[in-house]
Amino acid sequence: MFRPRFLLTGLALVLGACSPQDPQAQTSAALAEQVLLPAYSRWADADRALSSSAIAFCSGQEDLEKARAAFFTAQKAWAELQPLLIGPLAENNTAWQVQFYPDKKNLVARQVEQLLKTNSQIDKSTLDKASVVVQGLTAYEYILFDSNIELANAEQKARYCPLLMAIGEHQQTLAQTILAKWKETDGMLAQLSKFPNQRYADAQEAIADLLRVQVTALDSLKKKLGVPLGRQSKGIPQPFQAEAWRSESSLLSIAASLAGAQALWNGVEGRGLRTLLPSEQKPLAERIDSAYADSKARLDELQQQSLQYWLAEPTGIAKLNAFYDSLNTVHRLHESELAKALGIQLGFNANDGD
C-alpha cells in the first residue's frame, strides 16, 4: 500500500523539478525561447543571405547597392545579438570572428591587403587559418565601402571577390554552428529553461548571467559612441574610431544593440526582466521604461543623418552628448538599481580594463 504512494510522490517531485514554477525560471525560459533564440536565428538567416549575396555580386548577378544592403542586414542582426551574447558565441573569443572592433590602428585594411598580397588564391579554408581581423564583418565592410577600392573596376573586383565570398561563407558557417549548439539537447536553450543543469545551479544564476551580458553590452554602447565623440580624447572627435565608419552605419548598429537590450528588459508579452520586479519596485520599472524611451527618441532624431554628419558641427556634438548621457542613465539603472532590486551581484564586467 505504501509503495504506489511513494512512487506517485517521487514522480510529482521529479515533474516539479523539471517544470519552471518560480518566476525566475519562467522568465529565463521565456527569454530564451522568445527573445534569444529568435535573435540567433535572425543572425544565422542574415549571414546565409550575406554569403549568397557575395556569390551573386561576384558573379555579376547582383549590383553593389544590393550587396551593401545585405551587409547592413547582417550587421544589424549582429548588433542586435550583442546584448544577448551568452553561451558558445561568448566563449573562446569567438565573437572576434564576427567583428573586429575597435580597430584603433587600421589593422583591418592592412591585414586584408597583406593577405591578398601573400595568397594568390583565397577560399574559406585559407580564411579559416587567417587572423580574426580579416574573417568578419569589418573586413567585409572594408571591401564594399572603402574609398580606395573601386569595385566597378573589373580587375579590383576580381582581386577582392574571393575574400568577400570566403568571409560570407565563414560567417554563414559560424552562425549555423552557433545556432545548432543552442538547439542541442543540453544547449543554451535547454540550460536557460530547466534547472539545475551543468551551467546553472538554479534560475537565479541564469537571470544574473542574462543581466550581466545586458549591462556589459550597454557599457559597450557608451564606448562605441563615446570614443568617436571624443569622451576619451579631451573632447576632440575621433570619427575614424567609430564602429562601421566606412559605411557610415554606426548609428544603425547602436540602435539595433539598444533594441536587443530593451528586448531582454521587456520580453515578449511582458515576460522579460521587468516582470521580476515586485510591485513595490514599480517606480524603478517606470524609470527604466522612461530611460529607454528617452534614449530611443534621441536616437530616432540622430538616425536622420550619419554619425559623421553630427560629429562635424557643434550642434550635432551637443545632440550626441545628450544621447550619450541618456545611454548612461539606462546603463546605470541596470547596473546598480535593477541588479540590487533583483538581488544580483554583477561582479566583473567584460569591459573592465578597456
Which residue is it, cell 530616432?
300
Cis peptide before 228 (omega within 30 of 0): no
Do 286 and 292 contact (CB within 8 A), yes or no? no
At 41, is the pLDDT very low, low, confident or very high (cuts 50, 70, 90)?
very high
Task: Over range 295-309, report the average pLDDT.
Answer: 97
pLDDT in the model for residue 10: 43
pLDDT in the model for residue 21: 72
Spell out the domain ranges in the chain: 22-191, 203-341
- Report the chain's mean pLDDT, rounded to a whole number: 93
Q: Considering the domain 22-191, what is its CATH architecture? A: Up-down Bundle (1.20)
pLDDT in the model for residue 212: 97
Query: Rounded to two decimals, what is the model's pTM?
Result: 0.92
Do 308 and 245 contact (CB within 8 A), yes or no? yes
At 1, is the pLDDT very low, low, confident or very high (cuts 50, 70, 90)?
very low
Please state, as a whole number, how many other Cβ atoms lie within 10 Å of the Cβ of residue 302: 21
